[in-house]
């Protein structure tokens, strides 16, 4: 994004930017400047350099060449890089240089009325263009703020060690500008243990985001209050159906929407066991010093489709053994369906197993998520066909310690890939 010029061009842009205070608009635009020195805008140097170059060239050429009329380009360049008032300043400077050239330069050239009008009108149009451009940038920044707020509403930050779990997550949006899609995940500690949910809503767009938000809201309440994980699973199934009925009643074509998911529970007092319910999702991988193995999670139908299996359609919870130090890796189909140029799927289990054999520390959640993220992007050449979530959890301490305090849940933060951190991809670890 281009600079606003740091001048007064941030005010009076109409209703589009009234929601942003003047200082907020200036700070936001300041962060998106092309040229900066010690955090301050220097984009004005570009039109200034052009103006100086035109002046120098005009002084060393004959008047017949009329190079000074090129001053019209100065304000045009400023309109593409600077704020409104900075552009207006360069429009005035360009006109002044043009007028002065006829009286000062020893070339004998006198300004032509047609060229004078060209520089004058060009400057006025450049100021108008700069105003339109700045308004468009403010509109885009406002939409980015909305997208960021939506992202944090659906996927809120997870505190370190939340629910007695060491965790790490990466979210890679297939749409670089969307920042959030139908993938969702969360950790909810409670008096009955810590529950983990990861899922993928069928479809894209705001409809998928709404469904993900509805499921997460139900999960955060049911996972805290319900003692039986199967009851939590049933609540999720009911919530998906209710959400579909509501959207259909609004006249939207969401009657066949569903979601695949994996629901896990870490019971209080039984550190060697985990409970898992699968809703048609890719089974989690158990990663540890002993190698990599898929975690059995049953063959339940996706959320919203349990009625296809009859009255007992909601799957039951399976109890599986998890050794100390083993990490559970949960991914969405953006990983498992990533293909290279030859159409070969990403070999997730094989690559993770090879990394663990080389270095047992690769099973740590943060390292594991970074490994899978980099491997997925490398395999598909950075061209993601679907939203991609990589989530890893490992039990570290008493799960009930935080849950019993009654604290609410929060889900993982997924900032944009442009914000590089220890492990980021449109994501954060």
Question: pLDDT tens digit string along 66-105?
Answer: 677 788 888 888 888 888 888 899 888 888 887 777 666 5
Of residues 25 and 343, more confidence is placed in: 343
**Nearest-angstrom CA–CA distance, 342 and 184:** 30
Say yes or no to pLDDT of 270 above 90.
no
Is residue 122 within 8 A of residue 74, CB to CB? The reply is: no
User: How high is the pLDDT of residue 397?
Assistant: 54
My answer on whether 227 and 103 are in the same domain is no
Q: Which residues does 1 contact at the CB level (< 8 Å), separation at least 6?
A: 29, 32, 33, 137, 140
Q: Are residues 78 and 189 in the same domain?
A: no
Residue at 415 is within a domain = no
- Of the chain, the percentage scoring pLDDT greater than 70 comes to 75
What pairs with residue 292 in β-bridges? 287
pLDDT value of position 221? 95
Q: 196 and 330 share a domain?
A: yes
> Which pLDDT score is estimated for 220?
94
Q: Are residues 160 and 146 in the same domain?
A: no
CA distance 59 to 203: 64
Query: Which comes out higher in pLDDT, residue 247 or 401?
Result: 247
**Residue 129: which of 54, 192, 78 has the closest Cα?**
78
pLDDT grade, residue 50 (50/70/90)? confident
Determine the Cα angle at 111 with ends 106 and 113, to 5°: 170
Write down the pLDDT at residue 371: 95
More confident residue, 36 or 236: 236
One domain, residues 168 and 304: yes
| Structural domain total, the chain | 2
229 has pLDDT over 90: yes
Q: Answer yes or no: is 294 within a domain.
A: yes
Residue 429 within a domain: no
59 plus 31 within the same structural domain: yes
Average pLDDT over residues 403-419: 39
The lowest-confidence range among 25-39, 165-179, 313-327, 384-398 is 25-39
pTM assigned to the model: 0.68
pLDDT grade for 209, boundaries at 50, 70 and 90: confident
Q: Within this chain, do residues 169 and 145 fall inside the same structural domain, yes or no?
A: no
Give a yes or no: residue 75 inside a domain.
yes
- What does 276-316 look like in DSSP terms, one character per residue? EEEEBPPPPEEEETTEEEEPP---PPPBT-GGGG-TT-SPP
Beta bridge partners of 263: 197, 277
Average pLDDT for 200-229: 90
DSSP secondary structure of 154-193: HSPPPPTTGGGEEEEEEEE-SSTTT---SEEEEEEEETTE
In-domain check, residue 410: no
Q: Is residue 1 part of a domain?
A: no
Domain housing 276: 156-403
Residues 125 and 265 in one domain: no
DSSP annotation string for 361-381: GGGSHHHHHHHHHHHHHHHTT
pLDDT for the residue 141:
84
Same domain, 226 and 83: no
Contact yes or no for 387/172 (Cβ under 8 A): yes
Q: What is the CATH number of the domain that holds 340?
A: 3.60.40.10
- Tell me the mean pLDDT in the region 364-387: 90
Same-domain check for residues 125 and 160: no
Is 356 part of a structural domain of the chain? yes
Q: What is the mean pLDDT of the chain?
A: 78
**Residue 202 DSSP symbol:** S
What local confidence, expressed as pLDDT, does residue 136 receive?
87
Per-residue pLDDT for 239 more than 60? yes
The pLDDT confidence band at residue 423, using thresholds 50, 70 and 90, is: very low
If asked whether residues 342 and 221 sit together in one domain, one would say yes
Buried-state track 185-200, b at ≥16 Cβ within 10 A, e below 16: bbbbbbebbbbbbbbb
* Whether 363 contacts 288, CB under 8 Å: yes
Check whether residue 102 and residue 193 sit in a common domain. Answer: no
Domain boundary among 90, 115, 150: 150
| 109, two tokens | 């050239």
Structural domain contains residue 317: yes
Write the DSSP string, 265-276: EE-TT-TTEEEE
CA angle 339–341–346, rounded 5-degree value: 25
In angstroms, the Cα distances linking 55 to 11, 86, 104, 110, 384 are 33, 19, 11, 15, 50
Instruction: Tell me which DSSP letter residue 345 carries.
Output: B
Cα–Cα distance measured from residue 37 to residue 273, given in angstroms and rounded to the nearest whole number: 56
- Render pLDDT for 113-148 as a digit per residue (tens, 0 to 9): 777 788 888 889 989 998 998 888 888 888 877 777
């Amino acid at each position: 994004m281009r600079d606003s010029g740091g001048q007064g061009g941030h005010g009076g842009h109409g209703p589009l930017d009234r929601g942003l205070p003047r200082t907020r608009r200036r700070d936001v635009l300041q962060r998106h400047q092309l040229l900066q020195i010690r955090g301050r805008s220097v984009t004005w140097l570009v039109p200034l350099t052009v103006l100086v170059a035109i002046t120098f060239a005009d002084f060393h050429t004959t008047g017949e060449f009329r190079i000074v009329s090129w001053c019209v380009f100065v304000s045009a360049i400023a309109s593409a890089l600077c704020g409104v008032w900075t552009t207006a300043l360069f429009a005035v400077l360009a006109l002044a240089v043009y007028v002065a050239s006829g009286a000062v330069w020893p070339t004998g050239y006198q300004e032509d009325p047609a060229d004078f009008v060209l520089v004058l009108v060009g400057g006025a149009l450049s100021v108008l263009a700069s105003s339109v451009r700045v308004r468009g940038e403010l509109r885009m920044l406002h939409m980015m703020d909305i997208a960021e707020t939506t992202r944090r509403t659906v996927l809120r930050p997870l505190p370190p060690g939340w629910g007695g779990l060491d965790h790490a997550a990466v979210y890679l949006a297939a749409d670089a500008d969307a920042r959030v899609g139908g993938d969702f995940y969360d950790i909810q500690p409670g008096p009955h243990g810590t529950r983990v949910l990861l899922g993928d809503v069928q479809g894209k767009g705001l409809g998928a985001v709404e469904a993900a938000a509805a499921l997460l809201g139900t999960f955060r309440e049911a996972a805290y209050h319900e003692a039986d994980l199967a009851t939590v699973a049933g609540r999720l199934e009911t919530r998906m159906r209710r959400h579909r009925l509501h959207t259909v009643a609004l006249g939207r074509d969401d009657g066949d929407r569903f979601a695949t998911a994996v629901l896990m529970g870490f019971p209080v007092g039984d550190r060697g066991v985990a409970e898992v319910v699968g809703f048609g999702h890719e089974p989690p991988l158990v990663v540890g010093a002993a190698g990599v193995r898929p975690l059995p999670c049953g063959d339940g139908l996706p959320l919203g489709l349990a009625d296809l299996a009859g009255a007992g359609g909601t799957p039951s919870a399976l109890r599986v053994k998890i050794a100390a130090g083993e990490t559970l890796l949960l991914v969405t189909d953006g990983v498992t369906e990533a293909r290279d140029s030859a159409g070969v799927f990403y070999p997730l289990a094989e690559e993770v197993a090879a990394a663990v054999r080389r270095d047992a520390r690769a099973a740590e959640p943060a390292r594991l998520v970074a490994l899978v993220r980099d491997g997925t992007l490398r395999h598909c050449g950075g061209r993601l066909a679907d939203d991609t979530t990589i989530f890893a959890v490992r039990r570290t301490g008493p799960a009930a310690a935080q849950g019993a305090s009654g604290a609410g849940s929060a889900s993982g933060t997924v900032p944009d890939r442009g914000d590089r951190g220890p492990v980021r991809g449109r994501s954060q670890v």
